[in-house]
Amino acid sequence: MTHLAPLDAQLQTILEGLARRNALRLFANPIAELRQAPPPGLSPVAVGAVRDAIATAQGLTVPVRIYWPDSEGPHVTVVFFHGGGFVLGSIERYDDAARRLCRALDGVVVSVGYRLAPEHPFPAAYEDGLAATLWALENSANLGVGAVTVAGESAGGNIAACVAIMARDLGLQLAGQLLIVPGTDMTRELSDTHDNPILTAADLVDSKRYFMGERMAEVSSFPPSPLLAPDHRSVAPAVIAVAGHDPLREEGVAYARKLQAAGVEVVLLQFDTMFHPFLGFASVATGPERAVQEICAAFKATIPI
């Protein structure tokens, strides 16, 4: 086993608290119960303005929440897909993350409320993700005026990566893709170890089962596996962030290499002391907050406004 850097001390404390509450094995609890848990009571990170809207494209209506920075534009527009294993998460639960991205990127963030499994299995999340992105492209003059990009964490990173390829296939060129601890290979077979404290192999199996439903045989196709797409040429430039304590780390690195081999500009950032996922912990731990700032600085440097 590859030697791991020690987990960030503050995250280790959080991890120990979760263990005391028997809260580490995520999908051991009923989905309805997990969804009913209230979002963390955090003081909102200040942004310029926030508005809920409906994105409409390709016959779909997708709820979004738009965050504007308080600076003068033009601004990049970031279509953001939350994490949650395609089963959990929401615009509301990722409000803090979206606000932090809005401030750190000095950009307009469009947080997407895509449909969740198992009620809406594969490929609903990709249909909604593409529709929201097409809507953002069509309405960029009312959003940030500048370039349009996609971003996501974990399952949301998977959606962002897939949407970037789908947009390329439609002849559309996004300005960038920000993939934070993304899942890129749904064919993965992992053994559970103590080195993956938040996202276990069993959780990944459950998430895939809920998401793919009766179409499990398609996990080796694109989508849902952007790593296995037949062609990665000319997709949007990427910033990919991976965590040391994450069972998805190697497929994130593999995706960076696959894009680079196809001639795509890629910045790969490795945060050895972080676990999966860490974006949502930036409000309570300094390590994740520093990581978010570094990720956003790298992404801003790749995007022409």
246 to each of 107, 168, 213, 269, 273, how far by Cα in Å? 28, 29, 25, 14, 10
Catalytic site residue 154?
Answer: yes
Residue whose entry in the numeric block shows the structure tokens 């978010």: 292
What φ, ψ does residue 290 adopt, rounded to 5°?
-65, -40
Catalytic site residue 276?
Answer: yes
**Residues 109, 132, 242, CA angle at the centre, nearest 5°?**
60
Per annotation, catalytic residue among 95, 96, 203, 246: 246
Classify residue 23 by burial, with Cβ atoms within 10 Å: 0-12, 13-18, 19+. Answer: middle
Amino acid identity at 78: V
Catalytic site residue 246?
Answer: yes
Per annotation, catalytic residue among 75, 232, 245, 276: 276
Residues 212-225: b if buried by 16+ CB within 10 A, e if exposed? beeeeeebeebbbb
Contact 163, 285 (CB under 8 A): no
Give the HSE-up count for residue 262: Cα atoms under 13 Å, Cβ half-sphere. Answer: 21
Per annotation, catalytic residue among 8, 75, 82, 154: 154
The set of catalytic residues is 154, 246, 276
